[in-house]
Chain A
Amino acid sequence: MVTTAWTKPSFSDEITNQMYTTGTRGLNCCIQCATCSAACPAVDFMDHTPRRLIGMINAGMRDEVLDSNTFWTCASCFACSDHCPKGIHPSELMYVLKRYSLWKNRFRRDLVGPDFSRRFVRTIMRTGKSYEPGYAPAFIFEGGFEGLLRNMQGGLKLLAKGRIPLIPSRIKRVANFRRMLSRVVPLEGIE
């Protein structure tokens, strides 16, 4: 769109601009064909289908989009991106919405995904490596006491097979690693 006067970017522009490296086409190219929704294996559990979510973004429905569980229900399987006839990457869009909602600290509090992502990233920032048992607190209480027991039973079986790491692993040059990351983002903003 060619304009002479400066206009405020729309919500759709703002979201599209967050997809810097992905090579996606802009969301305004969407023809609402719903191929993404048809390809999605998790669509039954989303409050808005991927197609509708893109439509809502293009319609500027910012609050409704941020209150949706759709992007936290995405498993990043890339089936939608593979099939979109217009070259949009809906799975990358889901990442953008995760980032955007965490950045604005605006997400549904009943979701486990935000806390899980933050824990994961904090762990790696500290040690350079992932540590599976460290994420347990984010979801272990889901399903109440029964769920807790079930998770513990599963954990014990894996422990007996030597498949649970007892001590978090860490890289050797953690100090350099952290200085490297601080050249990209301010660490205190994330930790």
Chain B
Amino acid sequence: MKRYAYYPGCSLETMAASYHISAVETAAKLDVAFEEIEDWNCCGATAYSAIDELLAQTLCSRNLAIAEKAGLDVVAPCSACFKNLYFTNEHLKADPDLAEHMNFALEADDLHYRGSVSVQHLMHVFVNDVGLDAIKRQVTHPLTGLKVATYYGCQLIRPRRHDGGGEAGPRFFEDLMTAIGATPVRFGYGLRCCGASLIATNRKVALGMLRDLLRDAKLAGAEVIATACPLCQYNLECYQGDVNREFGTDISIPVVYFTQLMGAAMGIRPKSLGFGRELIPADPVLACVARKPAAAKASHGSKVGKP
């Protein structure tokens, strides 16, 4: 069993609880264990860097130091948390002066960071560490025919194209969806920004960005948008009404977490994956798993949950 230090991040406690529970359920099926980082603090999101650079690094350093104490590598389901933790980790490894300063601060909480952990996004763990073959073996209810727009967003792959697939662009999200039987659509805006916190600070700009994304997903024929970030999910789902009012469009498309789709394909009950908490019901997904599972697909000895 693979073990990781799990950093849920603030959004997953309530707003994106369905991401949290579906991540944990799905990981368990894949023989991955998460140990929540003890007494973790906020990663600073994007606002901290607007106030003080070193302060932003301090917040992430504390989480890394606690994970190191547990002797585990870090996994973060939120793209912004991932990006912040990932880059603080890189900076600390590259810059002894910064590390010394951070360790001086960490002493106040009896912590010290040596720089021995790695940081990954949840999707990287599933795709790279677990692997698509192992995921395929757990699929009992393939999402056959479900047209999914794979929305990467920004901080899962940027900056500096860590695992961004070079000029051709990344493919791992599409590959993951194919592995669970779904059909990824050609979603040209899959790497464009959702507006992030601009929805709070500069609403008009964010709504325009959301309209472009939603319209492109619709045009591509998607029945559902899959995300890997709580803020992307919140923006794309909860502001569809505002987009429609602002631009006279008529868009209504469910937006779910990739872990919910994976869990559904693995036969986990929809309720245990947080389905039902969305504002736009995820009917296309539920209809897909309600069909009888393909008998040949039933894997060795695993219990197939009632759809």
A, B bound: yes
Whether B98 is near chain A, meaning CB under 8 Å from some CB there, is yes
> Chain B residues with Cβ under 8 A from A176's Cβ?
108-110
Chain B interface (Cβ < 8 Å from any Cβ of A): 10-11, 13-17, 39-42, 44-55, 57-59, 62, 87, 91, 95, 98, 101, 104-110, 154-155, 158-161, 164, 191-193, 195-198, 200-206, 208-209, 212, 238, 241-242, 277-279
> Chain A residues with Cβ under 8 A from B95's Cβ?
21
Q: Known contacts A130-B42, A157-B279; is A41 also within 8 Å of B161 by CB?
A: no
> Chain B residues with Cβ under 8 A from A177's Cβ?
41, 62, 109
A75→B195 contact, CB < 8 A: yes
Chain A interface (Cβ < 8 Å from any Cβ of B): 18, 20-21, 41-42, 44-45, 72-73, 75-79, 81-82, 89, 91, 95, 98-99, 102, 111-113, 116-118, 120-121, 124, 128-132, 135, 138-139, 142-143, 150, 154, 157-158, 161-165, 169, 171-173, 176-177, 179-185, 190
Contact of A78 among B17, B106, B155, B200 (CB under 8 A): B155
> Chain A residues with Cβ under 8 A from B15's Cβ?
132, 158, 163-165
Contact of B154 among A76, A130, A161, A181 (CB under 8 A): A76
> Chain A residues with Cβ under 8 A from B46's Cβ?
76
18 contacts between A and B (CB under 8 A): A18-B53, A21-B91, A42-B193, A45-B205, A75-B195, A76-B49, A89-B159, A113-B201, A117-B47, A120-B45, A121-B47, A162-B17, A162-B277, A171-B41, A183-B105, A184-B58, A185-B52, A185-B54
A138→B201 contact, CB < 8 A: yes
A117→B41 contact, CB < 8 A: no
B53→A112 contact, CB < 8 A: no
A124→B154 contact, CB < 8 A: no
A21→B197 contact, CB < 8 A: no
**Which B residue sits closest to A94, measured CB to CB?**
B50
